[in-house]
Amino acid sequence: MHTVVVGTSGVTASDVLAVARGGARVELSGEAVAALAAAREIVDALAAKPDPVYGVSTGFGALATRHISQELRTQLQRNIVRSHAAGMGPRVEREVVRALMFLRLKTVCSGHTGVRPEVAQTMADVLNAGVTPVVHEYGSLGCSGDLAPLSHCALTLMGEGDAEGPDGVVRPAGELLAEHGIQPVELREKEGLALLNGTDGMLGMLVMALADLDTLYKSADITAALSMEGLLGTDKVLAPELHAIRPHPGQGASAANMLAVLKGSGLTGHHQDDAPRVQDAYSVRCAPQVAGAGRDTLAHARLVAERELASAVDNPVVLPDGRVESNGNFHGAPVAYVLDFLAIAAADLGSIAERRTDRLLDKNRSHGLPPFLADDAGVDSGLMIAQYTQAALVSEMKRLAVPASADSIPSSAMQEDHVSMGWSAARKLRTAVDNLTRIIAIELYAATRAVELREGLTPAPASRAVIDAAREAGVRGPGPDRFLAPDLAAADTFVRERRLVAAAETVTGPLQ
């Protein structure tokens, strides 16, 4: 099994994906253990002094003015976890919780939190045992960290609350820890606070969304190329020299991908035949510009994610010179903004894909295709309602594009008076990514049918490879009306599992 070693300098996106989705084992490096021990010595020394230090010997948030005596500090750390584990709503997905836990461990191992090595090791042990705390949808404002979600994870480390075992059954966390030989931790000064104060949930969801959207943008280039073929459009608009004079890198990459898919096509370039047109509609002609802008948004979001993956987010933090200083690095604004930005770009990509689908189905604009791509229009409705479904998904995408990060609701008696709502931005982006997958699947379904209905014209070899692979995967071709939902579900799976991209790349080579 793949193993990810956590050191003091952060982790990579591939590390997060390996642990969250691939079930990789986690180990602490010797460097991380040494840094943990050194930082803990600083915290222990401060805890022994009579002077109050935030997070070590005081209350939290608006209650930070109270100095806590030594005999109450263990209770204080236990209480902050219990009281902050106040989430509500549906359970969050297992991969999100594993990313959340792993990224909190990443910051703990930085040596800036003051957590003991044995606490960090317990976090790794829980991940390696496949024990997943029950975390709920609501409870994070994306400031002072993803407090409620992280608290539910910390509760599991204490042997309290509920968790899901490797068999998928939810049981008391204490029972699951005992079965795997894991001793619950008794938190000491600062440790409870250190386990709660991070942007780990929203960051984990950002990393996974970036991976998914990387595939979806390639998929959208492929389906746009297929739609161009189905509409007998011209690929001249994809010429590299046209995109070189507006040098946005994402635009160039999308155009290059479409051109690679269309190489050798016998369907493009017929726009001057029976129904002359000077140029194709925007949804066809401007596909690289829209998808390219989204790709450049991905690049910016990836840069933000990389910076955050290299960060130690906690409050207060232990500095190398021995100071323990309060700070505001837990604020989720940098992550929240790009999560919202990605949702906007995804909504627009879904919108332009739906417009191409609608054009394929409209006999007045499809340049010779049957109405709704039906076998016997009137008797058959063809893909009429598939486009309704796609339109409904696009409409929801537009609602999901409304930014969460523009909102702020004060909390903690006005101490935390401006929050990021980054967790909410991440949650809606996950829904948007799911919907975008379905939207692209419906365009794929319509475009492949349209290409096959162009009798006597030969699609590009890459298009043929996609059509053949889709048909083998249960995405059926033209014919009389049938129960359509299973076909659309097969198309969704075909896109979601990256088989669409893989099929095209058997001809084109790696797409950008």
Q: State the catalytic residue, choosing from 54, 138, 282, 388.
A: 54
In angstroms, rounded to a whole number, what is the distance separating the alpha carbons of residues 436 and 433? 5
Tokens in use for 125?
């042990």
Asked whether the beta carbons of 315 and 327 are under 8 A apart, the reply is yes
* Helix or strand holding residue 447 (H, E): helix 422-453
Please give the DSSP secondary-structure letter assigned to residue 185. Answer: P
Q: Tell me the one-letter amino acid at 48.
A: A
Active site residue 217: no
Asked whether the beta carbons of 113 and 317 are under 8 A apart, the reply is yes
CA distance from start to end of the chain? 30
In the three-class reduction of DSSP (H, G, I as helix; E, B as strand; rest coil), residue 328 is classed as coil
* Residue 269 CA, distance from chain mean position: 38
Rounded (10°) angle between helices 200-230 and 147-157 = 120
In the three-class reduction of DSSP (H, G, I as helix; E, B as strand; rest coil), residue 285 is classed as helix
In angstroms, rounded to a whole number, what is the distance separating the alpha carbons of residues 492 and 463? 18
Q: How far is CA 510 from CA 209, 260, 419, 500, in A?
A: 21, 10, 41, 13
- Closest among 504, 422, 512 to 468, alpha carbons compared: 504
In the three-class reduction of DSSP (H, G, I as helix; E, B as strand; rest coil), residue 291 is classed as helix
Question: Cα dihedral sign for 271, 275, 280, 284?
Answer: negative
Please give the DSSP secondary-structure letter assigned to residue 132. Answer: E
* Helix or strand holding residue 26 (H, E): strand 25-28
Query: For residue 234, what are the contacts with CB-CB under 8 A and spacing of at least 6?
Result: 268, 269, 271, 279, 280
Query: For residue 83, what are the contacts with CB-CB under 8 A and spacing of at least 6?
Result: none
**Whose structure tokens read 């001057």?**
272
In angstroms, rounded to a whole number, what is the distance separating the alpha carbons of residues 19 and 1? 11
Q: Tell me the one-letter amino acid at 68.
A: I
Tokens in use for 362?
């409209």
Q: Which residues are catalytic?
A: 54
